[in-house]
Every structure is written in C-alpha cells, then in structure tokens.
Chain A
C-alpha cells in the first residue's frame, strides 16, 4: 500500500510543479501588465442588458478596475502556490481558474473607464461559435465512423456560395439553406467516395476538397458574383427570432433565446447527435465502425454504408455551417470568407474529445476568443488589431498542444477499411 502511494505521488509531482509555476507566472503577468497600469478610482462597467428592453432591467456590473485586477492576480498566485504545495486533482479546474482570472483581469483592464457590454459579447460568442460548432459536428460524426474529413473548410465555402446564389435568385432563404445542406452532402459524398471506394489517402482527399473549394468559389465570385451583385450575390439574411418569454430572461435571454434559425438549429443538432451517437443502434454501429471496423463487419454491420452515411450527413452539417457565413450573417459571398473556421472546428472536435457536447462547448471558447477580438478592436485598447485577430488561432494552438488532457481519437480514424 505504502509503496503504491509513494509511486503515485512521484508520478504526479512533475506536472503539479509545472502547473503551479504556470499559474504563478500568469498571475505575475496579470500583475505587471494589467494591475500596475490601472489607477485608483477607475471603474469598469460591464453591461448586462441588451439594447432591447428586457422584462426587467438588472443593474450593470460596475467593478473597480484596480482592485479587480489585483484580486485576479492574487487569486492566480494563490492557487498556483496551493497547487505547488498540495496539488489539485483536476487539471480542467486549474485551466478554468486560469482562463477565468486572466480573461477577467484583461477585460477589466481593457475596459477601464469605459463601458463594455458583457451580454453583447456573450451573445456574439454564441453566434460566432456556430460555424465552428457545425464544422466540429461534421468532424465528430465522420471521425466517429473512422473517416477523417479535413475538407470541411472547402465544403463550407461551396455551401456558402451556393446558398447565396440560390437565396438571391429564388428569394427564399429556406431554399438557400436547403441548397447549402445538399451542397455540403454532395461534396462530402465526393470525399467519401474517394476515400472509401478508392482508399485515397484521407488527408490528401480532404486537402484536395479545400483547394478545390477555395479555387472554384473564388473564381466564380470574381467572375460572376462581383459583377452581378444584385442578381446573384445579395440574398439577405435570416432575421433573429426571439422566443417568447424565454428571451426576456435577463442575461440568458438575449444570449440564448434571441438568435437566428441557424444558431438554434446548431444547438438542436448538438443534442440530437449526442442522443443518436450514444443511445441508438446507429450510433453504436458508427462508433464500432470507427474503432474496430472488422469487428463490426463480422457482426453483419455494413462498414462501407455506415461510413458513407456518416460522412455525407457530416457534410450536410458543414453545409449549414457554410450557409451561416452568407445567409446567416452578411447576406453576400466574399472570397475565402470562412477564414479557417473549418480547421478551428476540427480543433474544437479534438478539444471536445470527439463528443458533440464537448465539441460545442469548445466551439464556444473559440467563439468567445473571436468575439473578444472584435470587441477589443472597438474599445481601442492599444494592442495592434493584427495581434487581436490572432486570438482565436492562438487559442486553437494552445488547445492542440494537449495541455488540457489528452484526447484519444477513434482507433480506426483515418484508416481505409479493407475487407
């Protein structure tokens, strides 16, 4: 007994110290960067109400800038010291503390002497997380069945462009959305056909889809769309739909219940996919095919069919994600407007451990980083906008280093099945 205990302790020793040092270092960083440059008497005002009147208005959150930043720095240092001395079991708790304190201190510092709409930013986080989440769901459903799809970016571009053209020419946004879904499914079917039937390397095929997507849509855009904006590239966007009563709840209402259809659809799809994947025969078969296709095959499960269906349905998710960019937000198509969201979606999928809910939660983190970046540009905090633009990508890289617990991919992910 004694023996195992000592080994366990030495096992945990190194990461424990490292975590402690990181926490303290970040604490010091907060102290030097933020706390020292605030002045006594400065306050930061966080807006908790949308412009639209809520059922009842709650007061804004007003924090003393200096005290708050110092407090955050001290919390970080204290938790770091505690971690070095005693150790906290859960890494994710540490990450949460780290992220919360740092972001809080940063916001308080950035918005000192100013007013900052917290609700607005949270609400825009959900909106900005939507395409990332859809890309991540596409990744989850394909990879759970054992097919890597890195062509999500290209798929979204195709869908974005088709939906704007259909939307402009027919005047129906719902038809536009349907066409985006079909386009996504079609492109994914191409990928599926190449990698399942012909066993083409899945990364190569995905890359080809990306290059094809970027090239084709850019060509069509500069050749036709830009010259006929009113006829082809001006679809309008889905209006936000407020859900009665629910949207009147303070803070939560404007964030969750006052969104466009695509945002709602994404939330619904997350729940549906979670149930399908873990509580239905199809999900069981999908996961088996992604982990051990031969085992599934010997039990009469059609491995190829399962993979085709999952990849194509995944492509439809990506199609909705593509539609978000055009008919879901700006109403027109711009070249390479997806700006890497498909790839960030894959990062969200990994961070979310290949589960729909995990993927959505991590998409929210990326969406938050994205909306933070926008808000900070408006606030003019003195950081060059180029650096701010990097925020979501930097978060992606930190996440992918696996600091926050290693995720295990499905065992047969990316491997063609040979009978």
Chain B
C-alpha cells in the first residue's frame, strides 16, 4: 500500500499547462526521485501536494484515503513536510523561533516556550545527526546548516512524507555526502521521501525509483541499476544530449586580465575580497569555483566596474581599469554575462531588439548623433535572434516573456556579437535546461578558441570542470589554490570547504579514469 498516491493531477497557469495528468506513487521507506529540467513541472507538482497551489483536476491519496489539501497547514497536518529549494527561513530569527513558527509551544497558553522547543530540537538533532545550535540566528549560519534547520522544521512537525526540492543545489560535494547520510537515516526511521532534482548523478546514487517529467507530463520511470546518465538525460530532454563539452587543449597566449592584490568591500561595506591575484590569458578558460558567497559575486562586480575596489590593481591588457566605470570597461572589450540575468542582464520590459543593443546603442551604427537608428537596431535584432537561435515570436516582444534559457541566449547574443577580448560569465547556465546548457557551453568554448580570455564563475562544480582549462578555488574572499584542468571533484570540494591546499590528502588528488563528464 503506497503512503502517497497522486492521480491524474492537472494544473494550468494562464498560457501554460504546468502539470498534465500526472500519476505518482510513493511507497513506505522509499526514496522516489522526481527528475526533470527546469520548467518540467516538478516544483509545481510538489507545491500542489504541499497545498501551495490547488490542482485543476486530479486527486491526492494518503494511506489510501482521499484527502483535500487546501493549504500548507492541511499538508502539515497530514504528515507532509517540504524542504524548500529556497530556504523558508527568517534570517533575523533564531533556529528555535524558525522551527516553532506556525506551531508554537506556549506556557500558560500565552507565552512562547522557547526552552521546550529548543530541547525538542536537540532531541531531533541527536536522533538524526542534524547538529545545530537552537539559539543561533539563521543569518549567521552557513547554507549547509540552514538546510539542517529546514529538515528539523519538517521533523518537528512529525512529517512522514518528506519532499526535498533540489536540496543539493547550494551544497559543496562534501555537504552533499552529509545530506545523503541524513536522508538514509530518515529512511531508516520509517520516513518516505520524494527527492526533486535535475542532477543525474545524484539520482542514480540516492533514489530507489525515478520518475522523469518533461513539459508537465510523466515521460517515463526507471530504476537506478537499469539506466545510465545518458538514457536519463535523453528522457529528460527528449533527444540525444551531448554530455561532454567537446574541446581541444587550450592554446593560451598573452595575458589579458591581470589582477593583483585586490581588496573589495561588498555593498554593506564588509570585506568581501581579501587580497586576490590571478591572471587570465587569451585563449584559455579560467574557472572560478567556490561555494556561493565566498566573494565570487564581488569579484565579478569589481572586474566589471559595478563595485569600486578598495585597493589593488586590475590590468586589462596592461591598462589599469580598477577605477573605470562599467561603460569604459565595456568599451575596452569586456563582455559580462551577469549572475542574475533578470536583474542585471536585461531590461525585462524592453523588447528584445533594444536589449540586444544595451551596451552599444549610443555608438554608430545604432546611433547617429542623438538619434537612434531604428531600422539598423531592428535588423541587428533579427540577425542575432537567428544567429543565436533565440526562440521568440518576434524581436518586438518584451524580454520578460521568454523562458530563462532564451533570455540567457539574448544576453549571450548581445555580449558575444561585439568584438571582445575578455569574457566574464557568472553562473552562465544557472537554472537552464540541459539543451540550453549544451548550447551556451559550446559558445563559450568557441569564443575561447577565437582567442578571447574567458573567466567563468560558477557554483556548479561540474560546469567548472567541464569548461575550464585552469580552476581557481575561492574561499572567504581569497583564491586558495589554482589547479590545472582535470583536478578531481574531491580535491576541489575540499578546497571549497576551506581545507588548506597543503592538508589535502594525496588520495583526493588522484584523477579517476575516463573523460571528464558533465552532469546537470
């Protein structure tokens, strides 16, 4: 008897059919992986189960009983708990307060009983190996620990059916291992688990059963021993996918970007970069690996002029640009694919054709004096849409109407279509589907082969390994080590977690056989 069964779930949003006739069962003590690209409808489905959305059709059965879930409190009452992809934690409150929120224990029926709750948290911590200080404030905790708090929140409410939505997206490889251990202990204590992800390797490692979603439908299911990554990727995307980035050995030439002793303060005036030096040469890809929040964002901001560096120098082909404005830097041939494409990459309400000339609109041929040359701008838009395979009804639609992958293609089209000598790409494929990732990676390598110096910043280790010719690992605002291509994931992961280069065991540095594989 399954603990949970979804029958014929259908959910439509204006213009989109997010879920279409989905059937799914979860057995007791099982880890059921829900695999699919972004936008395949995984999160929508789970939000329906958790009561955040109401389905248009279909029913939910828990222990063979039909239930009506009208809101999160119904879901919680029926033993469903969700560990959200974007943590649902209040940063300025303590762990205890976050855990008790919505389900408070009181003294005399009026006053919050913090002691009792923190005692219960300690019990849960001990039982499942989820070590955390109940009195700590969330904002002071690293993401890995924050995730533990999310799990404790769910266990505190005595959930039996646990949903993990992309739980590994923000973790280092070592933290992922820790999470998997926790998941195993949850299963051992009789919980059942739905594990949402788009990472193939994880699925094969963790799941008992896999269901693949594409475009809102179930396209197949599998059992880990009987499929491989290639087969799963094909099911996800609907066509054969090239999992490996084809590239030749890099031919680095002269230094294009030289950063020396850079110190940068972040927007809140805290030191973010503490003395960092490196060089990127023409014709090579330098990857910057690191757990989010170790200064990568500020590094990119400093290099592109969005944040003034406190001291040090940034030389672009020998010229110091650390006091230049973003426009001056752009004009010297620097392209920037920003981390947050919607905030910093596009003007969402502008049509595509205007977005395509955001950094060149004031120059000929797009402007003559103060007059914009509309015809040329339209023509440019049409050509780039064709050249970069942007799927859009026309160049006149607002950028906000495109999917994430196509929005990213618009940015890539704009940045790659002008003469550049340095490309800075920050999280270039975050949230994109396998097909778009394949495309953007191909374009980046193409630029490298044309002789552009490329700096790729990504928190996805697989992406860094797939693209880079050299890999710099950042930790707390410093580059702890620069490794050659082909460094092992374990080695990188330890550096990312703050282990000193001299303390890395030899076993971690050994390269496993076979080509470097890219996993999504």
Contact = CB atoms under 8 A, between A and B. Distances in A.
Contact of B101 (A296, A411, A419): A296
Interface size class of B (residues with CB under 8 A): 20 to 34
Interface stretch (B23-31, B68-76, B180-188, B227-235): B68-76
A287 B97 CA distance: 10
Nearest to B82: A298
Contacts of A292: 88-91
A226 interface: no
Interface in A273-293: 279-281, 284-285, 287-288, 291-292
A40 interface: no
A297 interface: yes
A295 interface: yes
A281 B101 CA distance: 8
Contact of B91 (A285, A291, A294, A299): A291
A88 interface: no
A278 B110 CA distance: 12
A64 B100 CA distance: 60
Given A279-B112, A284-B101, A288-B101, A298 B50 contact: yes
B84 A291 contact: no
Interface residues of A, number: 20
B104 interface: yes
Instruction: Tell which of B71, B89, B92, B106 has the most Cβ of chain A within 10 Å.
Output: B92
Given A280-B112, A281-B106, A419-B52, A299 B88 contact: yes
A295 B50 contact: no
Given A279-B111, A298-B88, A284 B104 contact: yes
B333 to A, nearest CB: 35
Instruction: Tell which of A279, A280, A281, A301 has the most Cβ of chain B within 10 Å.
Output: A281
Interface in A302-343: none
B92 A291 contact: yes
B92 A285 contact: no
B89 A295 contact: yes
A300 interface: yes
Nearest to A419: B52
A287 B93 contact: yes
Interface in B102-131: 102-104, 106, 110-112
B112 A299 contact: no
A276 to B, nearest CB: 9
A285 B88 contact: no
Contact of B76 (A279, A288, A294, A299): A299
Contacts of B101: 284-285, 288, 295-296, 299, 301
B90 A281 contact: no
Interface string A113-128: 0000000000000000
B83 to A, nearest CB: 10
What secondary structure prevails in chain B residues at the interface with A?
loop
B152 to A, nearest CB: 13
Interface string A383-398: 0000000000000000
B93 A281 contact: no
A299 B101 CA distance: 7
Nearest to B50: A298
A288 B89 CA distance: 9
A292 to B, nearest CB: 5
A298 B89 contact: no
A295 B104 contact: no
What secondary structure prevails in chain A residues at the interface with B?
helix
B102 A300 contact: yes
A279 B106 CA distance: 9
A411 B89 CA distance: 12
Contacts of A299: 72, 76, 88, 101-103, 153
A337 B470 CA distance: 71
Contacts of B72: 297-300
Contacts of A7: 271
Contact of A298 (B52, B97, B271): B52
Nearest to A408: B92
Contact of B111 (A280, A295, A419): A280
A280 B93 contact: no
B100 A295 contact: no
Contacts of A300: 71-73, 76, 102-103
A294 B102 CA distance: 12
A284 B99 CA distance: 11
Contacts of B103: 299-300
A379 B456 CA distance: 72
Contacts of A301: 101-102
Contact of A295 (B76, B90, B106): B90
A333 to B, nearest CB: 39
Contacts of B84: 298
Given A287-B93, A288-B93, A296 B102 contact: yes
A49 B336 CA distance: 72
A264 B151 CA distance: 46
Nearest to B107: A279
B91 to A, nearest CB: 7
B517 to A, nearest CB: 36
Contacts of A281: 104, 106, 112
B90 A291 contact: yes
Contacts of B271: 7
B88 A284 contact: no
Contacts of A288: 90, 93, 97, 101
A296 B50 CA distance: 14
A288 B84 CA distance: 17
A88 to B, nearest CB: 21
A295 B88 contact: yes
Interface string A401-419: 0000000000100000001
A284 B110 contact: no
A419 B71 CA distance: 11
Contacts of A411: 91-92
Interface string B55-78: 000000000000000011100100
A284 B52 contact: no
Contacts of B91: 291-292, 411
Interface string A92-122: 0000000000000000000000000000000
Contacts of A297: 52, 72
Contacts of A419: 52
Nearest to A291: B90
Contacts of B102: 285, 296, 299-301
A285 B73 CA distance: 14
A295 B73 CA distance: 13
A281 B82 CA distance: 22
Interface in B475-516: none
B201 to A, nearest CB: 29
A284 B100 contact: yes
A297 B74 CA distance: 12
A280 B100 CA distance: 11
B274 to A, nearest CB: 9
Nearest to A276: B110
Given A298-B84, A300-B76, A280 B52 contact: no
B299 to A, nearest CB: 19
A299 B83 CA distance: 11
A297 B50 CA distance: 11
A300 B72 CA distance: 5
A291 B97 CA distance: 13
A284 B93 CA distance: 9
Contacts of B110: 280
B137 to A, nearest CB: 12
Nearest to B111: A279
Nearest to A7: B271
A32 B101 CA distance: 58
8 contacts: A281-B104, A284-B104, A285-B101, A292-B91, A295-B101, A298-B50, A299-B101, A419-B52
Interface of B: 50, 52, 71-73, 76, 82, 84, 88-93, 97-98, 100-104, 106, 110-112, 153, 271
Given A7-B271, A281-B112, A299-B101, 7 more contacts: A279-B112, A284-B101, A292-B88, A295-B88, A296-B101, A297-B72, A298-B72
